[in-house]
Amino acid sequence: MVSLEEMRKQYDIAELNQNDLLESPTDMFRNWFEKIEDLEHIEPNAAILSTSTKKGKPSSRAVLVKEFDERGFVFYTNYKSKKAQEIEVNPYGSLLFYWQDFERQVRIQGKIRKVSRSKSEKYFHSRPRLSQISVLASHQSKTLENREELDKKVKKLEKMYDGKEIPLPDYWGGYILEHRNVEFWQGRRDRLHDRFVYTKHGRIWQIERLAP
């Protein structure tokens, strides 16, 4: 077995220079995202969402970002989940996109708030039917006796809503992380990576290069 201390990988696919940057971090993110969105073996919209309790105790998990624009990055979840409980008492968090094939990562920080009920409802009904059922069947983060308990709930709900529209429950919907700080990281040889951070001041984005 190879020692973890001996594991090494050189990053040498690309570099990131000041003149490669776009004025808006949203446009810059879109530029990078469009280069990988058609790759079949990865989920390019998968990101690590980090939140914390009121006392600063952090937790992280993977989420799928379903929309982004100049206002922020949108994801959906159960409003009674652990992440939602943490957002309720400390509405600040971060998203981390890591695209290994391109040796790139994007870190996004900002305030998190709920999206409108109508927006959540529109997205909910765009999901596959069984994905809608799963929202009703699963009380996210709560203890289950076994897998069979969950499967029984799913079958019961499938029968209940056969031929009917599945309602959006009050405890499920979207959040938007309103980005105020966005860092673009490009891996480089010998750990001398390229890092640029966008920081919002009013309506202006300030760009700075960071040491690796």
Catalytic residue positions, numbered: 191
Q: Which residues contact 151 (CB under 8 A, 6 or more apart)?
A: none
Encode 67-82: b = buried (16+ Cβ within 10 Å), e = exposed: bbeeebbbbbbbbebe
* 76: its two tokens: 């959906």
Q: Is 40 helix (H, G, I), strand (E, B) or coil?
A: coil
Beta-sheet pairing, 204-210 with 67-69: unpaired
Q: Which residues contact 133 (CB under 8 A, 6 or more apart)?
A: 154, 157, 158, 161, 166
Q: Is 87 helix (H, G, I), strand (E, B) or coil?
A: helix
What single-letter DSSP state applies at residue 53? -
Q: Which residues contact 161 (CB under 8 A, 6 or more apart)?
A: 133
Query: How wide is the angle at C-alpha 56 spanned by C-alphas 64 and 175, nearest 5°?
Result: 30
